[in-house]
Amino acid sequence: MPADAYESDTDERPTPTYANFANNEPIAKVTRVLGGRHARALNRKGRAIARIAYTNGWTLAAISRVFNVGTPSITNCVHLHLQKHYHPHDEPANDAYYAGDEFAGAFPEPPKRGRKRKSAGVRVDESEFAVKTESFSVSTSAARDTTEPQGPPSLPVPSIPTATALQVSVVPNDLDAFFQSIPALSVVALTPDRSALFVARGFTAAYLRIMGAQWPPAEICDVVNRLLSHPVDSHGCLDPFEMTLLKVGLETLRKDGDSPPASKLSTVSTLPELLVSVHGFDLSVHLPYFVAQGFTLAHLQELARIAPTAPAAVYEVLSQALQRGWNEKLVGLSPLEVIALEFCLRAEGAKASM
């Protein structure tokens, strides 16, 4: 019989049933954690169920809603690099045992955005954008999940719509020509599946050129790890060899003396001026969506202020409010564009704190 958890970590706590997931309904009783801020919000069974749900295409937000806990509690147990820090004794291979027979068969399909919960998705008619007028503010204390130890700051892997809900058509963007033009990248077999993976995450030949020429190696490594190393949907992911080739290949585009993209957040006076160059990317096409979501230049400046101390919170705000979802028109930013905006805010925040 497999076992990897301490007895104190297997106590009884409210955990969702198969029916909760099948009906996309949260557990009736919100989890109450005894033992102070360092206690776990989820016991071993809960973490097993969360990981099983995640591997079956459920998003972090959807899982946290069913569990009635904060999203970071789910993030910290489903992403391998975070799980090793927060739950080092968990062996995911034993999850089926801890989850129980109820979850041994086929897992319920992940919910489509907008179903069961009206606020879960954003439906935007591209021809008519209603401007939101609600106030917008973020505090580092409100963004933290106090049921988990904070530990070293780690950014979550982006939540990406599953292929069952979002069918990505491969739009030619010269990816093949770009890969063939760089020796290290020419080794990568850019099959239709691989092309679909890059398109789903928002990578284009133009963006890859900008990243290679302007982004620091550490940022290239970060974005490749976060977007391409986890099989979050049917597009799969890159293997370690392909990821290394991509990182090395992009870095060959950088010339001596090149400096990182300069943040213009503190020098521009309007949002359209900023979006023309966000960490090297032209995001001006998304201006109507920023307006529809209630984002102003002042809001982004406020996020930049807290970015150095709460980067994960800033990413969550951007991804949940601006990243394209399951709508057919693919309105919103791609996962790569969201991270580019995050990097822009972090750079501005670091500059202001110097």
Identify whether the C-beta of residue 291 lies closer than 8 Å to the C-beta of residue 129: yes
Q: What band does 147 get if pLDDT is binned at 50, 70 and 90?
A: very low
Question: Residue 211 pLDDT more than 90?
Answer: yes
Task: Determine the distance from the C-alpha atom of residue 285 to the mean position of all C-alpha atoms in its chain, rounded to a whole number.
Answer: 22
CA dihedral for 107, 111, 115, 116, sign (positive or negative): positive
pLDDT at 341: 96
pLDDT at 322: 92
pLDDT at 354: 65
The full set of domain ranges for the chain reads: 7-118, 122-147+261-353, 175-251
Here the tokens at position 258 are 């090149």
- The Cα 147–Cα 145 span in angstroms is 5
Backbone angles phi, psi at 118, to 5 degrees: -60, -30
28: left (phi over 0), alpha (psi -120 to 50) or beta: alpha
Over the stretch 297-322, which tens digit does the pLDDT of each residue have? Answer: 999 999 999 998 998 899 999 998 99
pLDDT at 40: 63
Segment holding 290, helix H or strand E: helix 287-292
Here the tokens at position 84 are 């090793």
Does residue 41 or residue 326 have the better pLDDT? 41
Here the tokens at position 123 are 């439906």
Q: What is the DSSP string of 203-256?
A: --HHHHHHHHHHS-HHHHHHHHHHHHSS--STT----HHHHHHHHHHHHTTPPT
pLDDT at 113: 60
pLDDT at 122: 38
DSSP letter, residue 263: P
Q: Which of 245, 322, 246, 326 minimizes the C-alpha distance to 287?
A: 322
What angle separates helix 335-353 from helix 217-228, to the nearest 10 degrees? 140
The overall average pLDDT reported for the chain is 78
pLDDT at 338: 95
Percent of the chain with pLDDT over 70: 73
pTM for this model (two decimals): 0.56
Question: Residue 140 pLDDT more than 60?
Answer: no
Over the stretch 217-263, which tens digit does the pLDDT of each residue have? Answer: 999 999 999 999 888 777 789 999 999 999 999 999 987 666 677 77
Q: What is the largest distance, in Å, between two alpha-carbon atoms of the chain?
A: 63
b/e per residue 69-81 (b: at least 16 CB within 10 A): bbbbbbbbbbbee
Over the stretch 27-85, which tens digit does the pLDDT of each residue have? Answer: 876 544 444 444 567 889 999 999 999 888 888 889 989 998 888 889 888 887 777 77
Q: Which of 116, 113, 42, 44 minimizes the C-alpha distance to 73?
A: 42
Task: Determine the distance from the C-alpha atom of residue 132 to the mean position of all C-alpha atoms in its chain, rounded to a whole number.
Answer: 24
pLDDT at 164: 38
Identify whether the C-beta of residue 32 lies closer than 8 Å to the C-beta of residue 64: no
How many Cβ atoms sit within 10 Å of the Cβ of residue 121? 15
Task: Determine the length of the chain.
Answer: 354
